[in-house]
Amino acid sequence: MYVQTLPISKCAFHPINLSPGTHLLTHCTQTIQIRKVYFESKLKTGFCHSVKRVCGSQIGSGKGGVLVGVRCEGSHQGENDGLYIRRCVELARKAIGHTSPNPMVGCVIVKGGKIVGEGFHPKAGQPHAEVFALRDAGDLAENATAYVSLEPCNHYGRTPPCTEAFIKAKVEKVVVGMVDPNPIVASKGIDRLRDAGIEVIVGVEEELCKKLIEAWIHQMLTGKPFLTLRYSMSVDGHVLNQLGNTVLEPGGYYSKLLQEYDAIVFSSTLLLENSSFPASREPGANQPLQIVLAMDPDLPVEIPALTSKSTAKVIIFTEKETSLEQVATLKGVETVVCERINLVSVLEYCKRQGLCSVLLDLRGNIADFEQILREGVELGLFQKYVVEVLPVWVGSNEKSLNVPEKLRVKSLTSKVMGETVLLEGYFE
**How does strand 56-57 pair with strand 289-294?**
unpaired
186 and 236 housed in the same domain = no
Residue 257 domain-assigned (yes or no): yes
Could you check whether the bond before residue 7 is cis, i.e. omega within 30 degrees of 0? Answer: no
Same domain, 203 and 229: no
Active site (annotated) includes residue 273: no
CA–CA distance from 356 to each of 103, 181, 221, 255, 260 (Å)?
Answer: 9, 15, 11, 19, 11
Domain assignment of residue 40, yes or no: no
Report yes or no on 55 lying in a domain. no
Q: 10 Å Cβ neighbour count for 90?
A: 18
Are residues 235 and 357 located together in one domain of the fold? yes
Q: Which alpha helices (H) appear in 230-369, and where do they start and end?
A: 253-260, 269-273, 343-352
- Residues 178, 250: one domain? no
pLDDT tens for the 428 residues of the chain, in order: 333 433 333 333 334 343 443 333 333 333 333 333 333 333 333 333 332 222 333 333 333 333 333 333 333 447 799 999 999 999 999 999 999 999 999 999 999 999 999 999 999 889 999 999 999 999 999 999 999 999 999 877 777 899 999 999 999 999 999 999 988 878 899 999 999 999 999 999 999 999 999 999 999 999 999 999 999 999 988 899 999 989 999 999 999 999 999 999 999 888 888 778 899 999 999 999 999 998 877 777 777 766 655 567 899 998 876 555 556 556 678 888 888 899 999 999 999 999 999 999 999 888 889 889 989 999 999 999 999 999 999 886 665 666 666 788 999 999 998 889 999 999 98
> Given 192, 213, 234, which residue is the final one in a domain?
213
Q: Does 29 map to a domain?
A: no
User: In this structure, are 181 and 239 located in the same domain?
Assistant: no
Q: What is the DSSP letter of 248?
A: T
pLDDT value at position 332? Answer: 74
Q: Is residue 190 part of a domain?
A: yes
The confidence score (pLDDT) of residue 309 equals 56
Instruction: Tell me which of 213, 239, 261 is where a domain ends.
Output: 213
Q: Counting every residue, how long is the chain?
A: 428
- 387 and 353, same structural domain? yes
Q: What is the four-CA torsion angle of 248, 251, 257, 258, rounded to 10 degrees?
A: 60
Are residue 123 and residue 256 in the same domain, yes or no?
Answer: no
The catalytically annotated residue of 130, 151, 214, 388 is 130
- Give the pLDDT of residue 368: 87
Q: Are residues 183 and 276 in the same domain?
A: no
Task: Mention every residue, 6+ apart, whose C-beta is less than 8 A from residue 150.
Answer: 103, 105, 176, 177, 178, 180, 209, 213
Based on the domain organization, do 256 and 354 belong to the same domain? yes
3-state helix, strand, coil split of the chain in percent (to 5) is 25, 25, 50
Burial 316-331 (b: 16+ CB within 10 A, else e): bbbeeeebbeebeeee
pLDDT at 253: 95
Instruction: Identify the pLDDT of residue 134.
Output: 98
Q: Of 163, 155, 254, 159, which is closest to residue 200 (Cα–Cα)?
A: 163
The range of the structural domain enclosing residue 123 comes to 78-213
Cα separation, 47 vs 15, whole angstroms = 22
User: Are 349 and 379 in the same domain?
Assistant: yes
* Tally of domains in the chain: 2
Last residue of a domain, one of 213, 244, 267: 213
Regarding whether 274 and 161 lie in a shared domain, the answer is no
Q: Which amino acid is at 92?
A: A
Q: Do residues 265 and 396 both lie within one domain?
A: yes
CB hemisphere CA count around 251 (13 angstroms): 2
Nearest to 113 by CA among 146, 70, 76: 76
Read off the CATH number of the domain in which 154 is found: 3.40.140.10
To 10 degrees, the CA torsion angle through 355, 359, 363, 368? 70
Task: Identify whether 42 is part of a domain.
Answer: no
In this structure, what CATH number is given to the domain that contains residue 380?
Answer: 3.40.430.10
Residue 326 domain-assigned (yes or no): yes
What's the pLDDT at 78?
A: 72
Domain-embedded: residue 39: no
